[in-house]
Amino acid sequence: EAGVAQSPRYKIIEKRQSVAFWCNPISGHATLYWYQQILGQGPKLLIQFQNNGVVDDSQLPKDRFSAERLKGVDSTLKIQPAKLEDSAVYLCASSFPGAYEQYFGPGTRLTVT
């Protein structure tokens, strides 16, 4: 069974530039999550999708972050414009609806200079 796929694995950009991350969840997983993991901290949920609808985006900085999951499968997270404090690993996870167990992708390490 293929796991959660993410790309790119690494990205370096300058502040005020834009960047996008892509995630393809495990087949059949209707629920998709984006987490931000800052160095030395645990992952923090940014947004949760159920199919193509947003369930929770209360911790998403909506002035600069956006995410979509148009067809209810893969998803894109965008940051525009990036700030230095956005340097982090962005993790995507997926699960069956209502399931407690989440499966994580390898993450995208973003460095903003």
Partner 1 sequence: AQSVTQLGSHVSVSEGALVLLRCNYSSSVPPYLFWYVQYPNQGLQLLLKYTSAATLVKGINGFEAEFKKSETSFHLTKPSAHMSDAAEYFCAAFTGGGNKLTFGTGTQLKVEL
| Contact residues for partner 1, defined by CB under 8 A | 4, 6, 9, 33, 40-45, 48, 55-56, 91, 93, 100-107, 109
Distance CA 13, CA 42 (A): 23
Beta-bridge partners for 95: 31
Q: State in angstroms the smallest separation of the CB of 16 from partner 1.
A: 27
Nearer to partner 1, 9 or 62 (CB): 9
CB-CB contact of 16 with 2 (8 Å): no
Nearer to partner 1, 45 or 81 (CB): 45
